[in-house]
Amino acid sequence: MPGSGGSARLPRTIRRRLRWATGPNLGLEHFVDHLRTDPTCFALLPADRPLPAGARDVRSIPLVEPAPLYAWSLLWNADRPHPRLADLLREFGRIGARERWLDHDPTRDWLPDANHARLTD
């Protein structure tokens, strides 16, 4: 893991092993089963995401000191927004404030350099 405030570039040993999954999302159980059966596979998941009961032999190690922050985007069709989009955005804002989704502590959290400028936007 790069140090706090360091480059967003992953170490070469990890980059060589990365393969981006493509295809349909068959759910967490299928995904974890793939982790169990492919010794070259690893994944990054939120630390507070419970794993399925059948994942007893999958090791989960929380990333801390520094903890990575993940930027998420909400996408929608700008030409045809859903009638309840405003409700959804309000709810994300409410939950995000309660869960501290937008908090950033540079002594605790790792954030790629390119994202630091966005904290003040």
pLDDT (tens digit per residue) in 73-118? 788 888 998 899 999 999 988 888 887 777 777 777 777 777 666 6
pTM of the complete model: 0.46
pLDDT at 6: 39
**38-50 pLDDT per residue, tens:** 877 778 787 777 8
Q: What is the CA radius of gyration of the chain?
A: 17
pLDDT at 87: 92
CA distances from 98 to 49, 94, 101, 113 (A): 17, 6, 8, 26
Q: Is the pLDDT of residue 53 over 60?
A: yes
pLDDT at 5: 40
